[in-house]
Amino acid sequence: MKVTLNNVGKRFNYHWIFNDINIAWQSPAHIAIKGTNGSGKSTLMSILAGLSAPNQGFIEWHFQEKKIEQENIFKFISWCSPAVELPEEFTLLEIIRFQHTFKNWVNDLSENEILRLLNLEKEAHQFLKNFSTGMKQRVKLALALLADVPMVLLDEPTSNLDEFGIAWYKNLLEKFSNNRLIIIASNQTEDFVKTATELNLQDFKK
């Protein structure tokens, strides 16, 4: 997977959040997007996901040397973000099955294997509305990292996770990020692998 940002900039009204980003990322790679609060980390992630358009420049996606049109990019990515809410009327097993109707699981994981990876086998038939915020975050991360897609976007992945949850996340990230483009937006060191390539949005302000 290759993502190319060509002179990309985003503004709200007359205020530029960031601009003139010229960079290309290609899998396998880990990318760390950093910046102060309000610097546009989540906004850039939305642009990378094809959900928002830049006010300046353009972005291109390629997979196996073929260009992907913006309306089809959702087929090639998964995304975990505080802005993404789980359907709380679903049980855990139902959300796993629902996700599978859109995307296959990496390594052809079974439902039972996913439940074991989540350490939530006993909660398989519990409604998501009864899960703690930390449990919901683990479900969102698992749905993103276990989807068989070439690009994974994680926005503030360790938010709402305790010490156990952070260790669980690091293990899942290490185990299931091979040969993919993993882009993570955060200022928390524990969210990234040590070898991540850093992009600091403070460097792209007028």
Cβ-proximal residues to 110 (8 Å cutoff; 6+ apart), any chain: none
pLDDT at 37: 87
d(CA 76, CA 63): 8
pLDDT in tens, the chain (206 residues): 999 999 999 999 889 999 999 999 999 999 999 998 889 999 999 999 999 999 999 999 999 999 999 999 999 999 999 888 999 999 999 999 999 999 999 999 999 999 999 999 999 999 999 999 999 999 999 999 999 999 999 999 999 999 999 999 999 999 999 899 999 999 988 899 888 999 999 999 86
**pLDDT recorded at residue 179:** 92
Tokens of 16: 């530029």
| pLDDT at res. 103 | 96
Q: Which pTM does this prediction carry?
A: 0.94
Separation between Cα atoms, residue 134 and residue 123, nearest integer Å: 14
Pick the CATH number of 2-204 from 3.40.50.970, 2.30.29.30, 3.40.50.300, 3.90.470.20: 3.40.50.300
